[in-house]
Amino acid sequence: MSEELVQHPKESLPAPRTSPREVWKKGGRLLSVLLAVNVLLLACTLISGGAFNKVAVYDTDVFALLTTMMLLATLWIIFYLLRTARCRDAVPYRDAHAGPIWLRGGLVLFGICTLVMDVFKTGYYSSFFECQSAIKILHPIIQAVFVIVQTYFLWVSAKDCTHTHLDLTRCGLMFTLTTNLAIWMAAVVDESVHQAHSYSGSHGNASHARLAPDPQRAGGTAGGDPCPCSTAVCQIFQQGYFYLYPFNIEYSLFASTMLYVMWKNVGRLLAPTHGHGHAPSRVSLFRETFFAGPVLGLLLFVVGLAAFILYEVQVSGERDQTQKALVTYYTFSIVCLGLMTLVSLSGSVIYRFDRRAMDHHKNPTRTLDVALLMGAALGQYAISYYSIVAVVVGSPRDLLGALNLSHALLMIAQHTFQNVFIIESLHRGPPGAEPCETPPKEPCQGITFANLDAIHTLPSCPPTPRLASPNPESPQDAEAIIISAPRCHWRRRCLKDISLFLLLCNAILWIMPAFGARPHFSNTVEVDFYGYSLWAAIVNICLPFGIFYRMHAVSSLLEVYVLS
Residue pair 166/89 in contact by the 8 Å Cβ criterion: no
- Is 70 exceeded by the pLDDT of residue 328? yes
Q: State the alpha helices, DSSP H only, in 266-363.
A: 292-314, 319-351
pLDDT tens, position by position, 473-521: 444 444 444 444 455 577 778 888 899 999 999 999 999 998 878 888 8
- Is 60 exceeded by the pLDDT of residue 19? no
Burial of residue 212 (number of CB atoms within 10 Å: 0-12, 13-18, 19+): middle
- Is 90 exceeded by the pLDDT of residue 331? yes
- Is 90 exceeded by the pLDDT of residue 6? no
Residue pair 151/81 in contact by the 8 Å Cβ criterion: no
Confidence of residue 271 (pLDDT cuts 50, 70, 90): low
Strands 160-161, 93-94: pairing kind:
antiparallel
Q: What DSSP letter does each residue of 311-334 carry, written as one string?
A: HHHHTTS-HHHHHHHHHHHHHHHH
Q: What is the mean pLDDT of residues 93-109?
A: 85
pLDDT tens, position by position, 389-412: 999 887 667 888 889 999 999 999
The reported pTM is 0.76
Mean pLDDT, the chain, whole residue set: 78
Residue 427: CA count within 13 A, CB half-sphere: 13
Sorted by where each begins, the domain ranges of the chain are 25-201+230-268, 287-429+478-563
Q: What is the mean pLDDT of residues 150-160?
A: 93
pLDDT at 333: 94
pLDDT tens, position by position, 551-563: 889 988 888 888 7
C-alpha distances in angstroms, 89 versus 5, 95, 162? 17, 15, 9
Three-state SS string across 93-138, please? EECCCCCCHHHHHHHHHHHHHHHHHHHHHHHHHHCCHHHCCHHHHH
- Name which of 21-30, 265-274, 400-409 the model is least confident about: 21-30
Residues 6+ positions from 471 with CB-CB distance below 8 Å: none
> Higher pLDDT residue, 191 or 272?
191
pLDDT at 429: 60
- Is 60 exceeded by the pLDDT of residue 433? no
